[in-house]
Amino acid sequence: MAMLDRVAAIHSDSVMPHGLGGLVPHQYQSEVFVRAQKANVIAALPTGSGKTLISVLLMRWIASQEQSKGKIVAFLVPKVTLVEQQWRYIQQKTSLRVAKLHGALDLDLSDRSGWKKRFETHDVFVMTAQIFLNILTHSLWKMDKVSLMIFDECHHARKNHPYNGILREYFQLDPSDKRPKIFGMTASPIWNVKNPLGSLSDLESNMNAKVIAVVEHVQELNEHSPKAKEIIKEYPLAPEEYNYSSPTIYQCLKVVDNSVWDDLEIPWRQIDNRYWVTFYNLGPYCASMFLFHEIQYYLERFLIENKQKILDDLSHSVEIEDVITSTSLPSKRIPDELHFIIDILQDFQAFFPGKITSSTSPIPVSNLAWCTPKLKVLVDILLEHHSPSFQGIIFVEQRHDAYTLSKVLNLLPELQGRIRSAFLVGQGVNADGVSTRTDSYEGDPIKLFRDHALNILIATSVAEEGLDFPECDLVVRFDPVQHMVGYLQSRGRARKQASTFIVMIPKGDTLQLERYQTLQQKEPEVARVYQTRHAVADEEDVDDDMDETDPVDLAARERYVVPSTGAVLSYDNSLSLLNHLCSLIPRDAFTPIHKPKYTGEFEQTLHLPRALPLSPQDLTFTGPLRRSKREAKRAAAFMAVKRLKELDVFDEYLLPLAKYADGEEEEVRSITGDGKLKRQIPPPIMSAHVRDPWYIGQTLWSHTILVENAAIASLITSTVLPPQDFVIEGSNVQMLPAALLEFDADQEHEQRLAMHQFTRCGVWYNNTSRPFSSPFSFYLVPITPDRLPDFEAIQCLLSYPEGNGDWSKISEEDYDKLMVICRPQFGSIHILRRIREDLTPLSTPLPGSREATSPTYHEYWTKKWSRKNRQVVLPTNGPVLETFRFQRSNIGTFLFDSSPSHSPIHIARDGRLLPQASCAWLPISHSIRRAFEVLPVLCHRITSGYRARCARYELNLPPSISTNFIIEAFTIPAASFPFSNQRMETLGDAVLQLCTTVHLLNRYPNRHEGQLTKLRQQVVSNRYLMYRALDLGLEQFLNSEIGNVSKWRYTSPDDALPYQHGTARLSRVVTREYPRRSLQDCMEALVGACFLAGGIPLALQGGTALGLEFGGPLPWFIRYHRIPVPTIIAPAFAALEENLNYKFRHNHLVMESLTHPSFTFSDVPSYQRLEFLGDAVLDLFVVKYLFDKFPSATSHQLAFPRTKAICNQTLAYLAVKKLSLHKMMLMNSMDLNIAVDRSVSVLDSLSADEIVKNGWKYDPPKALSDLFESVVGAVLVDSGYDYEKTAAVLEYVMEDVLEVLSPSLAKDPVSELMEWAASTGCTRIAIKPMVKKTELRERDGVAVLVHGKLVVGPIVSSSLNIARFAAAERALTKLRDPASEMNLANLCDCALAMSIDGCPPASPFVVDSTEPTGDISSTDDEDAEDIDEVAEFLIEDTTEDDQEKVAI
């Protein structure tokens, strides 16, 4: 095909589906692109020739193919620095969705759903090779779901580089047509110039690709890949002596003994070596600068880690204000020479500036006399090539040289105002700490260099590859070129036209000169090798710190694939998997870092940390014999990981921790992998269909209502309700069993309609005062002696729905019973007290009465009841009725016991006089009126009970849980009842924690505390509980309705008929809205209800029914029954048994509970797993104790004493004072011994009252509280998981502490300060972190400020929490002291500001937020009358000032 046709084909078939978008390749790029479409290739093109553009064309083409659907493109780079650059370029040049991944992004490999979403929402992933290898290892994505793999700087695909690890997985994919396409890019393909063909063959074999070069458009390639001018610059050898001032900083520090450096954790020997390397390379000043900053770095780190110990030592000799000493930190030995070293650094500080700015003075060096000739030559080079737009890169071998050189160049007088330099080294923390320091210029040096904020970059090999610096016109190899890779890559950084590449070589060093000239001569020969055969060779990365694996070892390698998931274990990832596992083991400040240890040479033995809860034989692995030490280590690690997978230490994805409760709108699974749920997360306020018993259907059931054993009415609905007994407003109310209600066929419709209308009138008059048109969902009607609906009584009311005006039938028997309606104020209902024949409307009101403001009753009524558009006409004759206001029953709240209702009682005014001629009486009997009085409570109670019974049946809850418990568990706070599920939720949360902990502990006997903690967090999280609740349909049973029924809610839909004809059924559900978080609260409350009803055994049954991770319904003593015969308890533990009042049966449990993680030479693991268990036991015990002791306390009130009882200080007190555990603890840490000894004397002197109320003042080591928790865990396990027995032991041990606990405990100083300040009206008080400066160093502290003015602080302590409490306590004392300058009155003007702003005082009237509200203008006449009455009542009972406010 002709070339023009070929390019046209590319554009039409490959690129155009995505659009060129201005991306037009050169012809040499199109040539390579076409060949890449046909086969796997490695493009060997010079630096700057546009290899990334070819890869973009290729990925756009591959993404347009049908077979690429559901697959990704993996763009792989060897170094983190390249990720950002390539990601930005690809994102700009294509419409594909591009993601970037590298280790610095803190990626969570356990978040499987997050990764799934990430892969589904992106097309291209730019990432480091190690990240992609991790993705394949843990089966987050499969190789067959990759359409294209692009390897940037692909010459790294050798030895044990992650590139090669990825490619080994690539070759495992069979058949081969499922493998992704491969495209490699490199500018330096051949590493071994002595055997170029062998290098090419190895690379092609590793990558399954052919190396190609440009063949048809070489001239165009050369035009767009300018070659820098190469210059050799020789420099004189360094002199034997320098005219450098003495003593040097090295001479001063050299006198310090090596043991002192060891105590200070400063690696003097390595620093010493690097000092002399820098001395010979850069000269005495640079070496001294390096030494100064290196010692300063390590010293600062030591001071930070040991600041409290240093402060404590200082406090013995000099009093330091506002520093609180601590007993909980490791007590490292602080050498006396520390201050001597600090003095030395201070003496030299002015000579070696830290952060360099434009105002920094140059160093006083004449003619660079304190630097090597090599550095002088470099200065000459920079001066010679400097220009206003000049930019250059200087390549060095050592990181500390890059750091030091970047500082020195900014300080030299000759370069002042010309050079702005910074250094660029690899990512991560280097052993010498250099890479963790801040640069001379703040920010990213790469970006600053590209933006011309810098003009010189001193770099290691990290800048040789891939980084694009198009404006660079000078590259200097300050240190020798070692191989072809370094030569080609560094020279390739000089991309500007007429750029210069300078190689610095010592005078007379023929070896270096010959090496460089050889590379220079061999370059075209090496290029011809792949240009002529269209292949490219491999080369070595100078940063690769990996051994060459022997072919025999490679052939002997194993590979393990987890059958269920496809996760891959190989020699390439075994070391990192083990390191990751050990890094997750929890440790305190007294325990060394947990890490695997290897011993041996070519047959390595791996020793895992004793902190792993494994048998001794599973802690040691001896690998097979290998030909290299590194390979022998990998082999041992492979064996260990494979065995740990069998022991379930690693899960099916080879992860030590997995995430099971995922993000929003994602999947949630149980820890067993069962029961996957696919539910979308509801909105914060969710709408749900809730069970409801009320509806009118074809079949009706009559339920007779008895009050104090007298049948008064019948409740009729289509749901069969069970017989129930209640206590409502102090009266015994019964509902008898349902009886089928039968009708005469001819009268059924009329009778149903009559019951409906009667119920409507009854509810209107007795409960709501509001008319409504929706059909009722039940009927309440009077009954005959045979307990059938009394249709005659029903018809009496329906005949006079607005009252009967015939008063001739009324006698004294009706007094105090008869309901009266006054027509001028129709919304008000009154009860007849008596008929006053002695009064008429024209009578004169009695003095002092409310009507006395008018000459006659008639005039008073006319004035009061008339409105602007309605004049009332009243009779002047007839008697007057004496009545009192009828209070409607519209509150449905109730309690479970027989105590008086807590429902609000509305106060009514007695003695109302009404004209009889304007009034009518309602034909409603006193008995039916009594039925309507109890109706709101009755309906609410029946509704709650119905939902509880439905939940018991459908959720398979244990039958022994009382209905009342279930009702309480489902009643959310929004219902505003006298009770809610919050107390049960608090208890249930503790039960949930313990039951889950016991299950996890036994299900995963080989997982350490860190793994178990993470698992527990996931399966007790609110999100997990919410999804479980949704899976169960728990939202159907919640009680969210408020007690007030002023707006009647027991109705059918507006379009429903009064009753349902035919066979169709109305649904027994209603729609309700409530907070989403109510779901998880109800789950925990149900667990708490089960525990209250039957302890742990019933909680296990209930939790299992709810789908929680309890391990099943079997009781623990059956499930975890241990057959081994009890062992003899060591005499050393006799005192512990006596203190506990408990006899152990298994010695190993006691020993494990007392073994600190620092004690590694033990037959049992450390106490961490038992402490994990004991923590949950203590939490439940304390919560249950407070729950029972304070039955009226809210969950919020229980939380504070609970925290006080189980905090670190209280448990440490119990460990020391009650059990003397500090005398039995097995530990191997001198620092912990010292910290414990310091705390013991303090804790021994305290009482239970002091530790509970003022525990915040003390800071004992957490190991003591951990020890107490682990002993509690040991008691539970030893007793056969008998919780009641363990609780009895705790009650005995904690008796003194428990007696102190109360919801009314004094608040801690922070809470007290804030509450007191709020009570005074101050709104500008703050407790803030603040740095405290002393002669030694700066330390973090806490200060209290009022209106921005410092009152106390900064207070310094090892714990910022303790400092916070101490600062608040001192501030409270000062602010309350009238004689203090810091008295709050002198600092705060909030009250004055409020007065000036005119803020009104709080309203004296409290509005019930649960009452329905609305626009008064939209109310009907009846409502308006009621509102008038209430307003009148309020005004009559207030002062004149208050009346004015009410009127407003």
Please list, in sequence order, all residues whose beta carbon lies within 8 angstroms of the beta carbon of residue 328, skipping any fewer than 6 positions away: 1235, 1239, 1259, 1260, 1261, 1262, 1358, 1359
pLDDT tens per residue, range 779-814:
999 999 999 999 999 999 999 988 999 998 899 999
Integer CA distances (angstroms), 851 to 843, 864, 883, 918, in order: 11, 10, 15, 17
pTM: 0.78
Confidence (pLDDT) at 105? 67
C-beta of residue 876 within 8 angstroms of C-beta of residue 840: yes
Confidence band, pLDDT 50/70/90 cuts, at residue 553: confident
- pLDDT given for residue 606 in this prediction: 94
Rounded to whole angstroms, how far apart are CA atoms 299 and 666? Answer: 48
Task: Give 226: exposed, middle or buried? Use CB within 10 Å, 0-12, 13-18, 19+.
Answer: middle
Amino acid at 137: T
Question: Is 806 within 8 Å of 901 (Cβ atoms)?
Answer: no
Residue 1398 has pLDDT above 60, yes or no: no
pLDDT of residue 1169: 94
Q: Is the pLDDT of residue 408 over 70?
A: yes
- The per-residue DSSP string of 968-1033 comes to HHHB-GGG--S--THHHHHHHHHHHHHHHHHHHHHH-TT--HHHHHHHHHHHSSHHHHHHHHHHHT
Catalytic residue among 553, 989, 1171, 1369: 989
State how far Cα 1116 lies from the chain centre. Answer: 32
Render pLDDT for 421-465 as a digit per residue (tens, 0 to 9). 888 886 543 333 333 333 445 567 888 888 888 888 888 876 666
29-80, pLDDT tens digit by residue?
988 999 999 899 999 888 878 889 999 999 889 988 888 889 999 999 988 8
**Helix, strand, or coil (residue 1118):** helix
pLDDT bracket for residue 1423 (50, 70, 90): very low
- Catalytic option among 31, 204, 540, 1084: 1084
pLDDT given at position 438 = 37
The number of CA neighbours under 13 Å toward the Cβ of 28 is 21
Average pLDDT estimate for 221-238: 84
776-794 burial, b at 16+ Cβ within 10 Å, e below that, comes to: bbbbbbbbeeeeebbbebb
Whether residue 8 has pLDDT greater than 80: no
pLDDT beyond 90 at 1012: yes
How sure is the predictor about 511, in pLDDT bands with cuts at 50, 70 and 90?
confident
**3-state DSSP of 1073-1103:** EEECCHHHHHHHHHHHHHHHHHHHHHHHHHH
Contact at 8 Å (CB) between 1137 and 1143? yes
Q: Are 191 and 538 in contact (CB under 8 A)?
A: yes
Q: Phi and psi for 871 in degrees, rounded to 5? A: -100, 125
Q: Please check whether residue 53 is in contact with residue 29, taking contact to mean a CB–CB distance below 8 angstroms.
A: yes
End-to-end CA distance of the chain: 93
Active site residue 989: yes
pLDDT tens digits for range 85-108 = 899 889 888 889 999 998 766 678
456-459/392-395 β-pairing: parallel
What's the confidence (pLDDT) of residue 532?
63
Does the pLDDT at position 1371 exceed 70?
Answer: yes
677 vs 768, residue with greater confidence: 768
Q: Which of 650-659, 666-675, 1039-1048, 1104-1113 has the lowest mean pLDDT?
A: 666-675
pLDDT at 1436: 36
138-160 pLDDT, tens digit per residue, is 999 999 999 999 999 898 888 88
Sequence-ordered list of residues with C-beta below 8 angstroms from that of 567, at least 6 positions apart, any chain = 137, 138, 139, 561, 652, 653, 654
**Catalytic residue status for 1312:** no
CB 948 within 8 Å of CB 1052? no
Confidence at residue 1394, expressed as pLDDT on a 0 to 100 scale: 46
List the structure tokens of 949. 């019974």
Distance CA(705)–CA(709), nearest Å, equals 9
Q: State the Rg of the chain over Cα.
A: 43
Over range 1071-1085, report the average pLDDT: 93
- The 8-class DSSP code of residue 912 comes to E
In which band, very low, low, confident or very high, does the pLDDT at 670 lie, cut at 50, 70 and 90?
A: low
Task: Say yes or no to pLDDT of 328 above 60.
Answer: no
Mean pLDDT lowest for which of 106-120, 653-667, 835-849, 1145-1159? 653-667
pLDDT tens per residue, range 362-373? 455 545 788 899
Is 80 exceeded by the pLDDT of residue 973? yes
**Any alpha helices (H) in 1106-1167, and if so which ranges?**
1116-1119, 1134-1140, 1147-1153
Spacing of C-alpha 1154 from chain mean position: 32
Reported as a single tens digit per residue, the pLDDT across 600-637 is 999 999 999 988 999 889 999 999 999 999 999 999 99
- The pLDDT assigned to 533 comes to 55
The mean predicted confidence, pLDDT, of the chain is 81
